[in-house]
């Protein structure tokens, strides 16, 4: 034993034990795993949230030093980004200028022209400022941030933004910092507007950049009531020099003193910017994520054979994700701060770690033997794959280690993360995923058990419930026990998984709630961290309340903030009504008319207003009112990124400029006066703000209405038309007293009690019905006619074969008996309770039945053949002497093939064409009246005529009520395999492939003399009845000799067409009137086994190849072609929207009729696949082992299972017939079961 | 049959164009740290012929691989699943990402690392001799073509380090060829299945 093998064995054993452990204690292990995940992720809480705005940190100016690069641990509040020098220092010179005193001869342009003009001299001053002391001479040129080219894409800004020099920004940049250009500019406002971007722009505009204050606060407009112009000169410095800045500050203050300025100048603010993610950077990121999701999708799609595919896929994804989080958390814990962008490397990490192990585990566990215990299955599955898992893991670790030795820091870091991620992934796979898998497998087995429980036990559900006899006329029913709906947990819903998830989501409104909560949290975070958001607002509120705050309104808009200044000294200013024509606007000042004396007084005396320049707290950090993208965008124009770096903003230098009216007039451009006077606002500013509010509200309302309309239209377009109708239909059901299922859907079937029709002695072979009568024929050849309404046996047409059977050979008898006997033994293995009340049969054995046929007829042979063990014994005793005592053998002999399933018989016959010959031989010597030797292979019922096709090729017409043979036809010799009876025509398909058309002629005109039972509720017209006096003859009108090359297996007639399907792979369509062949439909690659055609000319066929074809009967073209089954298609039914097929694989598939897409499938019990029927558009009924099940077709939902009898052991429902009055007839061994579906009847009304 | 070929070619072409655009964006990001608003438009306008060329090349490669597989008579059996293909594409994008974003000490290191990664890609997802040979051949051809283009001044790199071009180019080409071949083989497999089904029908 090599080392490798030993190692392998050990690993395998370890995995086995581990699997046992996981499957034994699932809950503690999951708890343990969750706890360890949370512990490992705990360090992540310290990492910053992505997507928030810039962060600030304030230090004092006085003792400022450039922070060192090394992190200093003890400086508690200092953020960790505050390291090293900033990208730049920002020094703003805040200029407030006003023309004072205001003169009525001034035009609006004067408000800003001359104040703006002063910027050039200020600029000059700043540029030329030189500080010289003992350490040397410093000028701005040496200290400022030298910028080079603008980015190539910004050519249009070249004229405005500085290039190749100091980054010094002021409104003067609009005029290239040249006074002459400004003076010759006829319209400065237009120049400013020219550079504004069109459309909505949220980030910093050029105007904001140059003015340094938000646009509406500059006061550069025609409608500036304050007549104060505010702008800044922004100097960007690359290094901090206290003395130079101090001298500049004092110089400016000295030149332009600000009287009432109390701005604090001892704080500098450092602003740290997060990484910016632009669209261009987002595209590769999004691509990688799309690839990642595709990978996850394709991987999890392979998970199969488990209870909840989605649950396992989720568990797999959770495993991978939490292993990544764990790896990041662990790395952070051990001091490795991630420098890589987590979002970028994340997809690659997932891809490296992969979902393969998880899938391999699942597959391995699922492929273990099902009959093992869950624990052992998990353990075995784990140990099977242990070696490959370990090998893969080792390989991956090796690759990553190689990557670690590339010595590239970024790759090294990636590898480190990947290693930790791999190890934690392995841990999670072993503990978390294995446990989840064990839980899932256990659930699946439980579900299997639940599904099998009712059928296997064969017991009525636990609910005892008194046996409620039906109120129907015939009271003595053999134990009609009702079965109420099972509890939802027991019901096996056949909905596709994805639909179930969608329904679950829809029911709980989970997605909406999560989105809502997420949005609220996100908005909260944004509002709190946004620089212009809550925090600033709170700060403003605090400063407003503090006594240090300016006289009223720190955080309020300026025109309100200044108001109180005038309020006291200017009580008479009432400006509600304004004088109309005046060359200059009325100097309306800030104290707006709250006074009611508007109309009362004469023209108010307007006092000469003095524009007041005030300095408030809001000016202290005026940059806060700018967009937080202001500085990044300014720097980005020069290809300098602020991402993950910080800038330091120095306290502003206030500059107050008072200009005389004289100066203002002097600096006027000749065109300035030509400007029309601004439209005089008719309302006060207060009202105006109100109006703005109203406008916003109205706009919002309009937008809301529009949105609602849009959504409505979308809804109408997208939602299916019958969406609402469905709801109505559901509402019409009495939801109150019916049990609702999980989806609020109440099943239409409330309670169902089967009627058992007993009387046949052997398994029932043929069933036919016309809605009112029901004819059945058993293997013994006995035909019984029942009332489909009440279940009464009306007529018995016995098989008189015993008379003839005595003349037959002994061996045939023996064979037949053996066959029959075996059959009985197989199908009735244990029925002891039934036998207790049966008459003692031992005397009958010695009785010669031939002596007493009438009595035999009079009493229905109840249990006549249920000899069971008694007969077996008797048979052994009397092996040779009198075989003729047994009534059944002869018929059983000729109909030996039917001991198998109906369909199988047909197939076997097709393969063995020797049988008809034998039949023929046996029929040769019989009389012309009735043929008792051959068995009935096909039967049809119309009116009160039963058409029976026999294996001898004879067609018989019986009177259903009287039980007399009306006529027979022996034109054909080949066995009749299928019959169709439509109007007065009978079509018979024969074993040799020929097709015979018969006409039934009634010599006396047919009249509806006889009234039999209640008229059918169905829409079908009542079948013609033939009175007993009529002489009925049956004429062969046409015989198509070679309709098919091989035996005809299926024959269906509807809508004036006869459709035959044969073993020769073709389907033929004939016209009923003239028996003319219209089409030969080819397309199947196997014999045809099922055909469906209805009044609406829908034709579907299914073959031995498992294919289903839909045909257009009018053109003979194939509409669709799907492969649905492994093995033969045994039965086909169409509704208006779907096609239902069942196959030998015991699967019922429901297809969409128009698209041919499989909607879902229902697994049937073995041997019951062929029995299915559609009661209404949405109700499907299928047969099972001793029960029939009702399904909702729309949802694939099991509505109800009805057990047909108490002793329903192992008897499958092989045939199922849906009658017009919403009853179902199914054969059930030797019994028939008539099941009414009452609520469907109500619906039909 | 031909329609199938056309469909496959179209799909491969679109994949190639898409990847070319995205990866070009990655490369542009390396030179420009922060995007001003009009960079995107300039990317799409500068060399419009690059994405179509890449698309055509990838369509050819993607069709060539299954074709050669069938000619050689050694069908590719290794990891024929869509999830594996997706993994391959992700690793390819990752290699590009690394070449664009990671700061390497020198170009030799960069080239060696990328070469190792590319070989790793081949070994993880392909492992066929024909794939390796075809990959090497096409990578060399493409590098030569690029060299010619640059030499004629149609196109140029911001910082060429080896005879007018970037030395990592062959590695990227090789990885791209392997990836496109993988996708093409998977698509061909799908078609093969369809054909099988058809024969089954008939």
CB contact under 8 A, A408 and B105: yes
Residues A264 and A400 both lie in one domain = no
Q: Is the pLDDT of residue A73 over 70?
A: no
Contacts of B40 in chain A (CB under 8 A): 279-280
Highest mean pLDDT pick, A698-702, A1080-1084, A1200-1204, B37-41: A698-702
The answer as to whether A26 is a domain residue is yes
Structure tokens, A1111: 């045909």
pLDDT score of A272: 82
Average pLDDT, chain A: 69
Please state the length of chain A. 1245
Boundary residue ending a domain (A636, A671, A706): A671
Residues A412 and A338 both lie in one domain = yes
The answer as to whether A434 is a domain residue is yes
Mean pLDDT confidence for A587-607: 41
pLDDT score of B55: 92
User: By the 8 A CB rule, do A970 and A926 touch?
Assistant: no
Higher-confidence residue of B183 and A970: namely: B183
Which DSSP state fits A494? -
Q: Output the DSSP codes for chain B.
A: -HHHHHHHHHHHHHHHHHHHHHHHHHHHHHH-SS--TTHHHHHHHHTTTHHHHHHHHHHHHHHHHHHHHHHHT----TT-SHHHHHHHHHHHHHHHHHHHHSPPSSHHHHHHHHHHHHHHHHHHHT--HHHHHHHHHHHHHHHHHHHHHHHTTS---SS--BTTB-TTHHHHHHHHHHHHHHHHHHHHHHHHHHHHHHHHH-
Closest CA in chain A for residue B24: A284
Q: Residue A595's pLDDT band (boundaries 50, 70, 90)?
A: very low
Higher-confidence residue of A258 and B30: namely: A258
CB contact under 8 A, A407 and B109: yes
Q: Residue A950's pLDDT band (boundaries 50, 70, 90)?
A: confident
pLDDT score of A32: 92
A510-529 and A497-508 are packed helices; what angle lies between their axes, rounded to 10 degrees?
A: 60
Contacts of B97 in chain A (CB under 8 A): 284, 288, 344, 348
Q: Residue B162's pLDDT band (boundaries 50, 70, 90)?
A: low
CB contact under 8 A, A641 and B103: no
Backbone angles phi, psi at A190, to 5 degrees: -65, -40
Q: Residue B16's pLDDT band (boundaries 50, 70, 90)?
A: very high
Closest CA to A230 of A139, A119, A137: A119
Residues A16 and A108 both lie in one domain = no
Q: The domain that contains A430 carries what CATH number?
A: 1.20.1640
Mean pLDDT confidence for A564-581: 39
The answer as to whether A215 is a domain residue is yes
Q: Is the pLDDT of residue B56 over 90?
A: yes
Helix (H, G, I), strand (E, B) or coil at A923: helix
Q: Which of A431-435, A615-619, A862-866 has the lowest mean pLDDT?
A: A862-866
When scoring B37, B85, B108 by the number of chain A Cβ atoms within 10 A, the one with the most, hence best to mutate, is B37
Range of the domain at A171: 85-278+625-671
What are the tens digits of pLDDT across the range B67-84? Answer: 888 888 777 777 778 888
Highest mean pLDDT pick, A69-83, A620-634, A1108-1122: A1108-1122
Q: Is the pLDDT of residue B13 over 90?
A: yes
The answer as to whether A466 is a domain residue is no
The answer as to whether A965 is a domain residue is no
The answer as to whether A419 is a domain residue is yes
User: By the 8 A CB rule, do A458 and A1211 touch?
Assistant: no
pLDDT score of A52: 53
Report d(CA A609, CA A591) in Å as an integer: 11
What are the tens digits of pLDDT across the range A113-150? Answer: 888 888 888 888 888 888 888 777 888 888 888 887 77
The answer as to whether A243 is a domain residue is yes
pLDDT score of B179: 92
When scoring B92, B94, B183, B200 by the number of chain A Cβ atoms within 10 A, the one with the most, hence best to mutate, is B94
The answer as to whether A1111 is a domain residue is no
CB contact residues (below 8 A), chain B span 117-136, against chain A: 120
Boundary residue ending a domain (A633, A648, A671): A671
Report d(CA A362, CA A383) in Å as an integer: 12
With b for 16 or more beta-carbon neighbours within 10 A and e for fewer, the A832-843 pattern comes to: eeebeeeeebee
pLDDT score of A612: 67
Mean pLDDT confidence for A1035-1045: 78
Contacts of B36 in chain A (CB under 8 A): 151, 153-154, 636-637
CB contact under 8 A, A294 and B86: yes
Q: How far is CA A611 from the centre of its chain?
A: 66
Residues A262 and A382 both lie in one domain = no
Q: Is the pLDDT of residue A925 over 80?
A: no
> Does B193 contact A at CB distance below 8 Å?
no
Closest CA to A902 of A765, A782, A775: A765
> Does B34 contact A at CB distance below 8 Å?
yes
Q: Which of A648-652, B31-35, B139-143 has the lowest mean pLDDT?
A: B31-35
CB contact under 8 A, A348 and B91: yes
Residues A307 and A266 both lie in one domain = no
Residues A438 and A333 both lie in one domain = yes
Residues A393 and A426 both lie in one domain = yes
Residues A138 and A222 both lie in one domain = yes
Q: How far is CA A26 from the centre of its chain?
A: 30
Closest CA to A987 of A908, A1060, A1081: A1060
Contacts of B90 in chain A (CB under 8 A): 288, 291-292, 295, 347-348, 351
CB contact under 8 A, B120 and A399: yes
When scoring B17, B18, B36, B127 by the number of chain A Cβ atoms within 10 A, the one with the most, hence best to mutate, is B36
When scoring A150, A151, A153 by the number of chain B Cβ atoms within 10 A, the one with the most, hence best to mutate, is A153
Q: Is the pLDDT of residue B175 over 90?
A: yes
- Tokens 């047994």, residue? A886
Q: Where are the domains of chain B?
A: 1-201
What are the tens digits of pLDDT across the range A470-525? Answer: 333 443 333 333 333 333 333 344 556 666 676 666 666 777 788 888 888 887 77
Report d(CA A1057, CA A1226) in Å as an integer: 27
> Does B113 contact A at CB distance below 8 Å?
yes
Highest mean pLDDT pick, A311-325, A454-468, A547-561: A311-325
Residues A399 and A433 both lie in one domain = yes
User: By the 8 A CB rule, do A540 and A555 touch?
Assistant: yes
Q: Residue A1222's pLDDT band (boundaries 50, 70, 90)?
A: low
CB contact under 8 A, A408 and B102: yes
Q: Is the pLDDT of residue A1008 over 50?
A: no
Q: Which of A60-64, A133-137, A728-732 has the lowest mean pLDDT?
A: A728-732
> Does B194 contact A at CB distance below 8 Å?
no
What are the tens digits of pLDDT across the range B78-128? Answer: 777 888 888 899 989 888 888 877 777 777 888 888 888 899 889 888 888
Structure tokens, B130: 């024909």
What are the tens digits of pLDDT across the range A1191-1209? Answer: 777 777 777 777 776 655 5
Residues A428 and A322 both lie in one domain = yes
Cα-based angle A940, A946, A948 (whole degrees, multiple of 5): 65
pLDDT score of A482: 34
Q: Number of structural domains, chain A?
A: 2
Boundary residue ending a domain (A459, A490, A523): A523
Q: Is the pLDDT of residue A182 over 60?
A: yes
CB contact under 8 A, B93 and A344: no
Q: Residues of A at the B interface (Cβ-Cβ below 8 Å)?
A: 151-154, 276, 278-281, 283-284, 287-288, 291-292, 294-295, 298-299, 301-302, 344, 347-348, 351, 354-355, 399, 402, 406-411, 632, 636-637, 639, 641, 643, 1085
Residue A590 to chain B, least CA–CA distance (Å): 41
């Amino acid at each position: 034993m090599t080392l490798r093998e030993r190692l392998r064995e050990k690993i395998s054993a370890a995995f086995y034990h581990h699997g046992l452990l996981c499957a034994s204690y699932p809950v503690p292990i999951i708890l343990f795993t969750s706890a360890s995940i949370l512990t490992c992720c705990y360090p992540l809480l310290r990492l910053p949230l992505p997507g928030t705005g810039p962060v600030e940190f304030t230090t004092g100016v006085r003792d400022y030093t450039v922070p060192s690069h090394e992190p200093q641990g003890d400086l508690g509040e200092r953020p960790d980004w505050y390291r090293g020098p900033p990208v730049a220092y920002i020094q703003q010179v805040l200029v407030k200028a006003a023309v004072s005193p205001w003169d009525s001869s001034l035009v609006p342009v004067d408000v800003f022209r001359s104040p703006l003009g002063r910027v050039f001299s200020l600029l000059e001053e700043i540029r030329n400022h030189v500080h010289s002391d003992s350490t040397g001479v410093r000028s701005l040129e040496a200290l400022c941030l030298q910028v080079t080219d603008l980015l190539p894409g910004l050519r249009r800004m070249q004229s405005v933004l500085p290039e190749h020099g100091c980054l010094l920004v002021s409104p003067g940049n609009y005029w290239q910092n040249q006074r002459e250009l400004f003076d010759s500019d006829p319209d400065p406002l237009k120049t400013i507007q020219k550079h504004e971007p069109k459309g909505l722009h949220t980030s910093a505009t050029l105007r904001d950049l140059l003015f340094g204050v938000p646009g509406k606060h500059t006061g550069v407009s025609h409608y500036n009531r304050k007549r104060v112009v505010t702008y800044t000169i922004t100097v960007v410095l690359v290094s901090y020099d206290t003395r130079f800045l101090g001298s500049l500050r004092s110089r400016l203050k000295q030149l332009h003193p600000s009287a009432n300025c109390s701005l604090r100048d001892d704080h500098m603010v450092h602003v740290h910017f997060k990484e910016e993610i632009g669209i261009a950077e987002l595209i590769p990121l999004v691509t990688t994520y799309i690839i990642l999701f595709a990978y996850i999708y394709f991987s999890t799609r392979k998970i199969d054979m488990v209870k909840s595919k989605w649950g396992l896929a989720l568990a797999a994804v959770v495993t991978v994700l939490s292993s990544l989080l764990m790896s990041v958390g662990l790395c952070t814990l051990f001091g490795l701060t991630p420098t890589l962008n987590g979002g970028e490397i994340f997809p690659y990490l997932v891809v490296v770690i992969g979902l393969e192990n998880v899938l391999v585990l699942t597959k391995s566990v699922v492929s273990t033997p099902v009959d093992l215990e869950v624990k052992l299955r998990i353990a075995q599955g784990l140990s099977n794959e242990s070696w490959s898992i370990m090998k893969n893991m080792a390989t991956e670790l090796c690759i990553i280690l190689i990557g670690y030795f590339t010595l590239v820091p970024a790759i090294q870091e990636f590898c480190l993360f990947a290693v930790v991620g791999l190890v934690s992934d392995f841990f999670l796979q072993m503990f978390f995923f294995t446990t989840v898998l064990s839980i899932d497998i256990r659930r699946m087995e439980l579900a299997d058990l639940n599904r099998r429980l009712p059928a296997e036990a064969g017991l009525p559900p636990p609910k005892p419930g008194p046996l409620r006899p039906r109120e129907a006329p015939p009271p003595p029913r053999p134990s009609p026990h009702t079965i109420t709906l099972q509890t939802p947990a027991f019901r096996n819903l056949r909905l596709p998984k994805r639909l179930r998830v969608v329904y679950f989501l829809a029911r709980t409104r989970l997605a909406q709630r999560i989105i809502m909560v997420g949005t609220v949290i996100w908005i909260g975070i944004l509002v709190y961290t946004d620089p212009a958001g809550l925090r600033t607002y709170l700060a403003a509120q605090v400063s407003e309340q503090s006594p240090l705050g300016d006289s009223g309104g720190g955080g309020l808009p300026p025109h309100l903030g200044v108001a109180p200044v005038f309020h006291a000294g200017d009580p008479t200013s009432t400006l509600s009504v304004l004088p109309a024509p005046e060359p200059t606007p009325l100097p309306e000042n800030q104290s707006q008319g709250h006074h009611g004396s508007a109309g009362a007084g004469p023209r108010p005396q307007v006092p000469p207003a003095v524009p007041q320049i005030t300095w408030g707290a809001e000016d202290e950090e005026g940059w806060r009112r700018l967009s937080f993208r202001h500085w990044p965008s300014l720097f980005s124009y020069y290809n300098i990124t602020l991402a993950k770096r910080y800038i330091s903003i120095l306290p502003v230098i206030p500059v107050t400029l008072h200009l005389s009216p004289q100066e203002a007039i002097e600096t006027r451009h000749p065109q300035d006066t030509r400007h029309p006077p601004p439209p005089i606002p008719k309302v006060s500013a207060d009202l105006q703000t109100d109006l703005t509010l109203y406008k916003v509200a109205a706009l919002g309302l309009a937008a809301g209405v529009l949105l609602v309309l849009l959504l409505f239209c979308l809804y109408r377009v997208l939602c299916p038309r019958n969406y609402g109708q469905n709801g109505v239909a559901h509402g019409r059901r009495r939801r109150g007293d019916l049990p609702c299922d999980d989806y609020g859907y109440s099943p239409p079937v409330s309670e169902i009690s089967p009627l058992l029709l007993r009387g046949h002695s052997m398994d029932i072979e043929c069933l036919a019905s016309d809605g009112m009568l029901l004819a059945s024929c058993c293997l013994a050849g006995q035909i019984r006619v029942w009332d489909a309404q009440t279940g009464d046996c009306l007529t018995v047409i016995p098989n008189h074969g015993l008379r003839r059977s005595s003349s037959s050979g002994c061996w045939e008898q023996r064979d037949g008996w053996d066959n029959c006997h075996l059959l009985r033994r197989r199908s009735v293995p244990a029925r002891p309770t039934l036998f207790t009340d049966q008459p003692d049969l031992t005397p009958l054995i010695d009785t010669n039945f031939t002596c007493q046929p009438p009595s035999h007829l009079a009493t229905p042979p109840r249990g006549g053949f249920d000899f069971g063990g008694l007969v077996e014994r008797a048979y052994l005793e009397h092996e040779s002497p009198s075989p003729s005592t047994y009534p059944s053998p002869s018929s059983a002999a000729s109909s030996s093939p039917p001991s198998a399933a109906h369909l199988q018989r047909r197939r076997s016959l097709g393969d063995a064409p020797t049988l008809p010959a034998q039949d023929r031989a046996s029929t040769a010597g019989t009389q012309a009246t009735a043929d008792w030797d051959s068995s009935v292979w096909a039967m049809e019922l119309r009116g009160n005529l039963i058409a029976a096709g026999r294996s001898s090729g004879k067609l018989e017409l019986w009177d259903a009520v009287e039980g007399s043979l009306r006529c027979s036809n022996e034109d054909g010799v080949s066995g009749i395999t299928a019959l169709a009876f439509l109007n007065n025509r009978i079509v018979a398909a024969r074993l040799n492939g020929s097709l015979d058309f018969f006409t039934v002629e009634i010599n006396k005109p047919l009249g509806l003399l006889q009234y039999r039972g209640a008229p059918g509720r169905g829409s079908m017209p009542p079948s013609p009845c033939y009175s007993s006096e009529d002489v009925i003859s049956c004429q062969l009108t046409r015989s198509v000799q070679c309709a098919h090359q091989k035996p005809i297996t299926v024959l269906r007639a509807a809508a004036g067409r006869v459709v035959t399907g044969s073993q020769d792979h073709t389907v033929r369509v004939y016209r009923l009137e003239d028996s003319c062949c219209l089409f030969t439909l080819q397309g199947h690659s196997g014999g045809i086994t099922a055909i469906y055609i209805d009044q609406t000319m829908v034709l579907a066929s299914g073959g031995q190849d498992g294919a289903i074809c839909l045909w257009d009967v009018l053109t003979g073209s194939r509409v669709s072609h799907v492969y649905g089954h492994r093995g033969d298609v045994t039965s086909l039914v169409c509704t208006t929207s779907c096609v239902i097929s069942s196959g030998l694989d015991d699967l019922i598939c429901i297809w969409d009729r128009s698209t041919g897409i499989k909607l879902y499938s229902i697994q049937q019990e073995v041997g019951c696949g062929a029995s299915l029927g559609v009661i209404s558009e949405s109700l499907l009924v299928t047969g099972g082992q001793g029960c029939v099940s009702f399904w909702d077709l729309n949802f694939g939902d099991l509505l109800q299972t009805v057990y047909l009898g108490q002793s329903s052991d192992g008897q499958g429902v092989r045939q199922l017939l849906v009658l017009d009055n919403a009853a179902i007839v199914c054969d059930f061994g030797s019994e028939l079961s008539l099941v009414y579906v009452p609520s469907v009847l109500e619906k039909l009304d | 049959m031909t329609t199938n070929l056309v469909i496959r070619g179209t799909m491969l072409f679109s994949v190639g164009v898409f990847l070319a655009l995205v990866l070009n964006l990655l490369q542009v990001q390396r030179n420009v740290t922060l995007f001003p608003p009009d960079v995107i438009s300039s990317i799409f306008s500068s060399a419009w012929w690059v994405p179509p060329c890449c698309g055509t090349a990838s369509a050819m490669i993607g069709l060539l691989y299954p074709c050669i597989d069938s000619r050689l008579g050694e069908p590719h059996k290794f990891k024929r699943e869509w999830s594996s293909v997706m993994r391959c594409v992700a690793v390819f994008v990752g290699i590009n990402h690394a070449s664009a974003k990671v700061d390497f000490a020198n170009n030799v290191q960069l080239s060696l690392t990328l070469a190792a990664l590319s070989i790793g890609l081949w070994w993880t997802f392909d492992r066929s001799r024909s794939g390796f040979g075809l990959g090497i051949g096409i990578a060399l051809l493409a590098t030569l073509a690029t060299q010619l283009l640059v030499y004629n001044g149609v196109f140029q790199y911001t910082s060429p380090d080896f005879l007018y071009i970037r030395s990592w180019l062959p590695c990227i080409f090789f990885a791209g060829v392997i990836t496109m071949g993988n996708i093409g083989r998977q698509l061909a497999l799908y078609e093969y299945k369809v054909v099988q089904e058809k024969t089954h029908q008939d």
